[in-house]
């Protein structure tokens, strides 16, 4: 699955998930930083070197996609298909493209793809990120547990 074209609501006609290359690593990091830094700061504080190292490890080991709208890179997504579920590891949309239905279209695509194999979709959300938790509840996810820092969520097929 090198590239997926997604049906996108709200009048944007061309939403795609393209396979990330090594050239996309800095875009992925900058997108995470702009969309997620405020939440990391609240929980652990933002350490630039530590965050860069964490990103480099994850980018090398996870299946990243670049979210594009009309050919413009607007976000990143990393998912893992496991035998018992599809796990969303990361989804970050640049702030100027948030609240336009892009994330909802991506999650809907993941849910539909997982349903073909009758797999649940699982993810975790930082407890301080109420906006994300509300979004995922709207997308049909329920809470399945928690850690000190995260709410664990799942959407059944």
**What pLDDT, on a 0 to 100 scale, did the predictor assign at position 133?**
95
Q: Which residue range is the domain that position 102 belongs to?
A: 3-155
Report pLDDT for 6.
47
The pLDDT score that the predictor gives to residue 70 is 87
- How much is the pLDDT for 92? 96
CATH code: domain of residue 67? 3.40.630.30
Give pLDDT, residue 8: 47
Q: Which residue in the block uniquely carries the two structure tokens 């690593």?
A: 25
Residue 29 has a pLDDT of 96
Q: Over its length of 157 residues, how does the chain's per-residue pLDDT go in tens digits?
A: 445 554 444 545 688 999 999 999 999 999 999 999 989 989 899 999 999 999 999 999 999 999 999 889 999 999 999 999 999 999 999 999 998 889 999 999 999 999 999 999 999 999 999 999 999 999 999 999 999 999 999 999 9
pLDDT of residue 2: 43
Distance CA 140, CA 37 (A): 26
Burial 24-60 (b: 16+ CB within 10 A, else e): bbebbbebbbebbeebbeeeeeeeeeebeeebeebbe
Domains: count for the chain = 1
């Amino acid at each position: 699955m090198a590239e997926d074209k997604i049906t996108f609501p709200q009048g944007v006609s061309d939403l795609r998930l393209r396979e990330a290359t090594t050239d996309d690593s800095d875009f992925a990091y900058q997108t995470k930083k702009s969309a997620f830094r405020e939440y990391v700061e609240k929980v652990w504080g933002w350490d630039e070197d530590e965050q860069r190292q964490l990103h480099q490890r994850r980018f090398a080991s996870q299946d990243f996609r670049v979210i594009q709208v009309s050919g413009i890179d607007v976000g990143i997504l990393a998912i893992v298909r496991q035998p018992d579920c599809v796990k969303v590891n990361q989804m970050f949309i640049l702030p100027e493209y948030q609240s336009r239905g892009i994330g909802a279209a991506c999650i809907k695509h993941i849910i539909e793809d997982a349903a073909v194999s009758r797999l649940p979709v699982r993810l975790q959300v930082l407890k301080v990120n109420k906006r994300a938790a509300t979004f995922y509840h709207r997308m049909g996810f329920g809470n399945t547990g928690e850690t000190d820092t995260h709410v664990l969520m799942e959407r059944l097929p």
